[in-house]
Structure 1
Amino acid sequence: MQVKSIYRNARISAFKAREVTREIQGLPATDALDLLRFVPKKAAELIFKTLSSAVANAENNNNLNVANLVVQEAVVGEGPTFKRFQPKARGSAGPIRKRTSHIRIVLTDEVEIKRREDKAAKKSKKPAAKKAGAKKKTTAAAKSAATETVAPETTATETKE
């Protein structure tokens, strides 16, 4: 089941907020909340509030388990722009655009939870498979080294006899 939470007219530009939402997409909701607590940006606080609202909606309205929730999508769209003017030299005026945005977060419990540690483990296994040819060379070198080490031992035992 999907659960949505929308924060409308947030006083931050969509460009700045998108930078933070890219980080939490696809993460489990609890991991995303932990991540947002330590991001030193204004957008992180606004997205944290929206995400915690979505988690509360899922828990209280739909009786879903918080541990199974995943951030399916975190989207930031542009809201209305407040137009102001700054006085400039010689009686002219320069425009100032105060941008706003709409933050939408969708949680779901239908997607399998994939943690970042699992992805890192999979990436570390892939290069090992590519180096299989290199391993064969090292094993051949190890065999030749093993035969070299065996030969001096036998000669040492022969001299002792």
Structure 2
Amino acid sequence: MGKAKTERRLKDNEAQAVARTLRVSPQKLNLVAAAIRGKKVERALAELEFSRKRIAGAVKKTLESAIANAENNHDLDVDALVVAEAYVGKSIVMKRFHARGRGRASRIEKPFAHLTIVVREVQAVEEAA
């Protein structure tokens, strides 16, 4: 089963949102998460809005939830928020049956993933790109 995970403790200037069991492979979700990592939230929302990836809508919804958590639960300034962390975890893999020729069968695997987004309030925003 593995070792029990300890929850990541948030600092006073951080807020997070978690999306669990998203129907996408972790590799594909990580492509979208890497695109917003380290960026200001306004820029990250704009990139997700015009992204052609199917899962970008769910990532945008999770980022908006993290921004709302920062504003309502932690009293942080929305204009000074940066996506500090965006990481992906592996979830369940559904196995499905696919009939093949000559009475054989093969397995279709449908992976799921978890997404965690942490936003941080910074005083002087320095963005690389």
Q: TM-score range by the shorter chain?
A: 0.7 to 0.9
Q: How many residues in Structure 1 have an aligned counterpart in Structure 2?
A: 117
In the alignment, structure 1 residue 16 sits paired with structure 2 residue 21: no
Match of residue 4 from structure 1 = 16
Q: Which has the higher contact order (CA 8 A, sep 6+)?
A: 2
Aligned match of 1:50:
62
The Cα RMSD (Å) is: 1.3
Instruction: Tell me the secondary structure at the aligned position of residue 55 of structure 2.
Output: helix
* Structure 1 residues without counterparts, runs of 5 or longer: 120-161
Distance 2:123 2:29 in 1: 25
Q: CA deviation at 1:105?
A: 0.3
Q: Which runs of 5+ in 2 are unaligned?
A: 1-12
Structure 1: how far apart are the matches of 2:78 and 2:55?
23
TM-score (normalised: structure 1): 0.69
Q: Residue 84 of structure 1 aligns to which amino acid in structure 2? A: R
What's the TM-score once normalised by structure 2's chain length? 0.85
- Code of the residue aligned with 2:56 in structure 1: it is A
Distance change >3 Å, CA 86–CA 19, structure 1 → 2: same
Q: Judging by fraction of residues, say which structure has more helix.
A: 1
Shift of residue 110, structure 1, vs aligned partner: 3.8
Contact 1:27–1:113 (8 Å) recurs in 2: no
Q: Which residue of 2 is the match for residue 59 of structure 1?
A: 71
Give the share of equivalent positions with the same residue, in percent. Answer: 38
